[in-house]
């Protein structure tokens, strides 16, 4: 996985210029705790730091972002520095799919762990379990005075029909069947804002029961898939002329390509 993203590098920044990202951000924000002012956040598979930045802007006190790609982390650090967020966000190169335990030397756990398009890199139950175990190991437990920490992530919609076709700036197709679901190839449709060549990467759409079983085994409770239903007012304005032929809201509402997974540390 590191190779495909090291090759993409800074071009990954153009991903946030495609329409689907506006829908992802709005629905992830709605799934977060109503208030997490002064809370600490761990962002897994942070990429170039988009969500770490947003979480700080939404009220988090401090964020740590981990990503397997050194190129992505380098870009994230540069962006954070330019934005004056060095004291609030720390980025590290880390393979979040391998066992890592608590990442802070102090042993401190986090109030919130996020993973936007992280769990979808698990190709089977065993790999997904390892990822959930890393989530669980870094969240405050239910015996903490503030209660159990929360995980919020974006995953391919496991309740959906095949994620095939063009929707709001991406083309996704199933390319192979695997034991617990499907392997997917995602291609960005040329960004109207950047003119960059399409970005292509592969990941997995696993079945709902596989997610539920792995989360429970890792000590997570109250696991829920929230089907996205929030479309921000005026979200299409920056993309006039770009959405033609790439899917419209009614079709996306019926079969959204992603879901927001929420779970609590038991």
Mean pLDDT of 110-136: 97
Our CA dihedral for 28, 29, 34, 40, rounded to 10 degrees, sits at 90
Q: How far is CA 206 from CA 7, 61, 175, in A?
A: 26, 33, 13
Summarize pLDDT for 129-170 with one digit per residue, the tens: 999 999 999 999 876 656 689 999 999 988 765 555 566 677
d(CA 99, CA 90): 20
Mean pLDDT of 116-121: 95
**Predicted pLDDT of residue 199:** 79
Smallest CA-to-CA distance from 266 within 166, 156, 122, 149 is with 149
Summarize pLDDT for 41-81 with one digit per residue, the tens: 999 999 999 999 999 999 999 999 999 999 889 999 999 99
Worst-scoring range by mean pLDDT, 101-105, 130-134, 192-196? 192-196
Summarize pLDDT for 28-47 with one digit per residue, the tens: 999 998 877 889 999 999 99
Confidence of residue 264 (pLDDT cuts 50, 70, 90): very high
Whether 221 and 259 have beta carbons less than 8 Å apart is answered as: no
């Amino acid at each position: 996985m590191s190779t495909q993203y090291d090759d993409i590098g800074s071009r990954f920044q153009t991903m946030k210029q495609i329409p689907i990202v506006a829908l992802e951000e709005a629905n992830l924000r709605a799934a977060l705790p109503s208030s997490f002012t002064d809370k600490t956040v761990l962002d897994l598979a942070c990429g170039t730091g988009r969500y770490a930045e947003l979480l700080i802007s939404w009220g988090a006190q401090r964020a740590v972002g981990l990503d397997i790609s050194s190129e992505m982390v380098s870009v994230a650090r540069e962006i954070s520095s330019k934005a004056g967020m060095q004291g609030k966000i720390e980025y590290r190169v880390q393979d979040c799919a391998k066992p890592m335990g608590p990442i802070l030397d102090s042993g401190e756990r986090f109030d919130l762990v996020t993973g936007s398009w992280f769990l979808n890199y698990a190709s089977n139950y065993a790999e997904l379990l390892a990822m959930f175990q890393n989530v669980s190991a870094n969240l405050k437990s239910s015996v903490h005075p503030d209660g159990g920490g929360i995980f919020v992530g974006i995953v391919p919609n496991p309740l959906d029909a095949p994620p095939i076709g063009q929707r709001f700036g991406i083309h996704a197709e199933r390319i192979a069947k695997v034991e617990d679901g499907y392997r997917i190839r995602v291609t960005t449709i040329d960004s109207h804002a950047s003119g960059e060549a399409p970005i292509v990467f592969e990941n997995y759409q696993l079945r709902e029961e596989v997610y539920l079983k792995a989360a429970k085994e890792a000590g997570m409770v109250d696991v829920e898939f929230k089907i996205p239903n929030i479309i921000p007012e005026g979200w299409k304005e920056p993309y006039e002329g770009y959405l033609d032929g790439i899917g419209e809201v009614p079709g996306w509402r019926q079969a959204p390509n992603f879901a927001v997974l929420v779970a609590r540390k038991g």
